[in-house]
Structure 1
Amino acid sequence: MRFDTKIGIVVRSDLAAWQRLNVTAFLASAVAGVDGILGEPYEDGSGNRYLPMFGQPVLVYEADAEGLARVHARGLARGADMAVYIEEMFKTGNDVDNRAAVRAVDAEGMPLVGLAVHGPRNGIDKMLKGLRLHP
C-alpha cells in the first residue's frame, strides 16, 4: 500500500543506543498528535483491547549533526510539520523545561539530536534526500 503522507524520524548517529531509542520514542509521540494519523484500537481474540498505533509506516533514519541541520533547514524552508529533540532535553525531566530549552536557542544554532517530520510524501522525501535508514 502506498500512502500520500510520510512519517520520518531522523536520529543523530553518534548517540548511545538508549539515547537513540529515547529520542525516537519522544519524536514519535509528537507525530502521534497529528489528527487522523492513528489507526483504530487493537483487540486480541480474547477480547483484550490495546492502544491504537500509526496507520502507516514510520521510517527511522540516521544522520550526523550536519545532516540533521540540513534536514531541519529544509523543513523550515518548506514550512513542514516538525518536532525537534535537542541535547539539553537529556538533562530535563519534564515538558515545561523541554520547551524552555528549545526556546533558549536560535534555529540556526539548535543542537539537534533528532527530529520528526510528517507531511506529503514527495516533500518529505525531498527533505530526507541523502539520508540512510537507521540500521
Structure 2
Amino acid sequence: MTNAMRNEPAPVRFDTKIAVLLRADLAVWQRLNVTAFLVSGVGPELPETIGEPYADADGTPYLPMFRQPVLIFEGTKETLTTAHGRALSRGLARSVFTADLFATGNDRDNRAAVRAVPADRLDLVGLAVYGPRNAVDKAFKGARMHP
C-alpha cells in the first residue's frame, strides 16, 4: 500500500544536500568538534538551509535548525583532497577544517592558519559542502557513510 493510498504525505525529498566528510583517522572528540565547526558556517551564509524555530507544547521556544538532514561521510586524507578539488570545480558552497586548527584557540587564528596555506596543500581533516544533490554526490564519490 502506497503513502497516497493511506492518505499519508509523501516523504520529503530535497533537491539539495548538506554533507560533511571527515578524515577517518580522527579521534571521536575531533570528529564531533570538526563536524560542529564545519556546519556552523552553512546556516549563516545560506539561510535557505534553515527551517522555522521550534517550540514545545508549553510554548518554550527553541532555535531553528537545518531543514534537511546532514549526511556525514568519512575517508582518507586523499579522499578529502580529491573531494575538495571536486567541490571547488563544481562551485559548491564549502567550509574546511585543517589539522592546523587543532592548535589554535580562536576564530582569528583559525582564519590565519587557513589563509597561510595554498588550497592544494591544505592538510584537510574535514570538509562540508552544500549544493545540488547530484553535485555533492559527485564531489564525495569514493567516501563512505560514517559508521
Q: How many residues align?
A: 135
CA-CA distance at 1:75 after TM superposition? 0.9
Where does structure 2 lack aligned partners over 5 or more consecutive residues? 1-11
Which letter maps to 2:59?
Answer: G
Q: Which residue of 2 aligns with 1:19?
A: 30
CA distance in 2, matches of 1:37, 1:76: 20
CA distance in 1, matches of 2:108, 2:25: 27
> Counterpart of 2:47 in 1: which secondary structure?
coil
**TM-score, normalising length: structure 2:** 0.89
Q: Which residue of 2 aligns with 1:43?
A: 55
2:123 paired residue among 76, 92, 111 = 111
Which letter maps to 1:66?
Answer: E
Which letter maps to 2:140?
Answer: L
What is the aligned-residue identity percentage? 58
Report whether the alignment pairs 1:31 with 2:42: yes
CA distance in 2, matches of 1:70, 1:63: 10
Deviations 1:101-130 (A, max 9, x none): 000001111000001000011111111112
> Counterpart of 1:36 in 2: which secondary structure?
helix
Report whether the alignment pairs 1:94 with 2:103: no
CA RMSD, aligned part only?
0.8
Report whether the alignment pairs 1:72 with 2:58: no
Which letter maps to 2:97?
Answer: Y
Where does structure 1 lack aligned partners over 5 or more consecutive residues? none
CA distance in 2, matches of 1:40, 1:27: 21
CA distance in 2, matches of 1:79, 1:28: 17
CA-CA distance at 1:52 after TM superposition? 0.5
CA-CA distance at 1:79 after TM superposition? 1.7
Q: Which residue of 2 aligns with 1:129?
A: 141
Q: Which residue of 2 aligns with 1:3?
A: 14
CA distance in 2, matches of 1:9, 1:117: 7
Deviations 1:14-45 (A, max 9, x none): 01100000000001101122122110111001
CA-CA distance at 1:80 after TM superposition? 1.4
Q: Give the ranges of 4+ consecutive aligned residues of structure 1 lying more than 4 Å apart after TM superposition.
A: none
**TM-score, normalising length: structure 1:** 0.97
